[in-house]
Amino acid sequence: MGLFSKKPKVRNGVVVDIGSGSVLVSIVRSDPNQSAPEIIWSKREFLPLKTSENIDQTANHVTGVFMKTMLYVEGEGRKVLQSVYPNEKLTDLQVAISAPWSYTITKTISYTDKKEFIITDEMINELVETAEEKTTNELHESEITNSLGLTVMNKITTNILANGYPTIKPDNQKATKVALSHISAVAQEILITTINETRNKIIPKVPSQLFSFMLVYFYVVRELYPAYTDYCLVDITNEATEMGVVRDGSLQYCTHIPTGVATLAKAIANKAGIPVEEVMSYFRNQESFLIALDKNSKLNKVYNEIIKKYEEDVMGLFMETGDALSIPKTIFIHTDALTETFFNEHIVKAGHLATKINHNVVNISQKVLTKYYSEKQIETIKKKNIDTALLLSANFFHNHKFGGNFM
C-alpha cells in the first residue's frame, strides 16, 4: 500500500426491512476487510394480529410503524453504536420493501443482427431506455398501480448477455446478439414519501437507497450459489407469499399472493374460534400442532381446508412464470426461521401440484449463517434472536456499495 493510499471505507448503515406485517430496523457495520457484516443493533416492530383486519387496513399501519422504528435508531441505535465504536457515525440508509407493499418488474430487451456488430455504451443505454419505457407503459396500464398509488423507487440493470454469455464490461465486444435484463422496483408513493421525510428528520444528509426485498433476495442467492442459473425464489412474510423466477442467471419474473404466515394464522383462528397467537405457536412447533389437531376436530377440519386452499394458491403462483416454461426444479425458501419446517412441506406440495415433479428445496437462512459466520458468531446470532431477513439485507448491504455494480 502506498504512503498516501486510503484505507477501505467502513460503513455503518441503518438497514431497514419493511415486511408485510412488521418493520425491522438495524445498524449494520460493513468493514471491507471482513467477510461478513457486523450487526450492531436491531429491533423489530410487529403490526397487531387482528383477525378482522384486511390488507388495506394493514397497509395504513405500515408507515406509522416505520416512523416508530426509526425513532428507535435515534434513541437506542446510536447509543449502542457509540458504545462499541465511539468515533464512528451512521453513513447510509438501506430500505428493502416486501410484497405486497412493493412490486418487482423485470424486463429483458435484446438486439440481434445476422452480421457481427460491436457492442457500444450507446447501444446498452438504448436497451435500458427501452426497458424503462416498457415498464412505465405497464405501470400506466395497471389497475393495481392506479389503485395503490405505486411509483418507481429503483431501476437496476442486473445482467447483460453477449451471444448468450454473461458479461460485466460489454463495451467494444463483438456479438450477433446482446440481451439486457432490467429491474424496476415499485412501491406505494405514500410509503416512499414517509421514508424520505423520516430520514430527513432522524438521519439528515445520510444517502439512501430503496430496494424490493425480492431483489435483495436474488443477489444474496446469486452470491451463495454462483453456479446455479435456473431456480425459483419464494419469500413468505406475514401477509404475502412472493415468487421470483430466475432463468439464465437473471431475475425474469415476479408475482405474489396476499397470503402469508399471519394471514393463514388469522384465517384459521377466526374459523376455529381460538386465539391467533395460539395458531402462530403451532406453526413454530410441529409436534404440539399435531397433538392439537388430533384433539380438536374443528381445528383439524378448518386447518385442512385453509391449508389446502393455500397450497392451491401457491400452485397458481408456480404456474404463472411469465413464460411457457415450468418453474425450475430448485426452490429457495425464505421465511421466519421458526416456521421454515412448517412451510417447506406445503411449498413442496404446491410445487408438485404445479409440475408433477419433486423439487429440490433449500432454506436460504441456514446457508447464509454457515457461509459467512463462524460457529461462535452463529451462536451469538441465535442467542440474540436476530431475524433471518436481517441476515439477507445485512449481507446485501455489505457486498453492494452504494452506486456499485449490480451485474
Going residue by residue through the chain, which has 407 residues, state the pLDDT in tens, using 9 for 90 and above: 444 445 568 999 999 999 877 899 999 999 999 988 999 999 988 876 554 455 556 666 788 899 999 999 988 999 999 999 999 999 999 999 988 888 888 888 899 999 999 999 899 999 989 988 888 887 766 655 555 677 888 888 888 889 988 888 888 899 999 988 888 888 888 889 999 999 999 999 899 999 999 999 999 999 999 999 999 999 998 888 999 999 988 898 898 998 999 899 999 999 999 999 999 999 999 899 999 999 999 999 999 999 999 999 999 999 988 777 889 999 999 988 788 889 999 999 999 999 999 999 999 887 888 887 778 877 777 766 666 778 899 999 998 754 444 55
Nine-digit cell at 96?
A: 428493502
User: Which sequence spans correspond to the domains of the chain?
Assistant: 102-267+269-274+277-399
Using CA atoms, how far apart are residues 267 and 307, in angstroms rounded to an integer?
Answer: 10
Cβ–Cβ < 8 Å for 236, 254: no
CATH number, domain 102-267+269-274+277-399: 3.30.420.40
Beta bridge partners of 160: 180
Give the whole-angstrom CA distance, residue 135 versus residue 150: 12
Count of beta carbons in the 10 Å neighbourhood of residue 112: 10
Q: Look up residue 72 and give its three cell numbers.
A: 428507535
Nearest 10 degrees: Cα torsion 382, 386, 388, 390: -150
Terminal Cα-to-Cα distance of the chain (whole angstroms)? 28
Between helices 297-319 and 340-355, what is the axis angle to 10°? 50
Measured distance CA(97)–CA(71) in Å, rounded = 19
What number of CA atoms fall less than 13 Å from residue 107's CA on the CB side?
A: 21
Q: Is the peptide bond before 32 cis (omega within 30 degrees of 0)?
A: no
Q: To 10 degrees, the CA torsion angle through 348, 226, 241, 358?
A: -10
| Global confidence as pTM | 0.87
Q: Report how far apart, in Å, the C-alpha atoms of 130 and of each of 125, 183, 254, 336, 376 are.
A: 9, 12, 20, 38, 49
Bridge-based pairing of strands 102-118 and 174-188 is antiparallel
Which three cell numbers, joined as nine digits, stand for 163?
451471444
Determine the 3-state secondary structure of 199 from DSSP.
helix
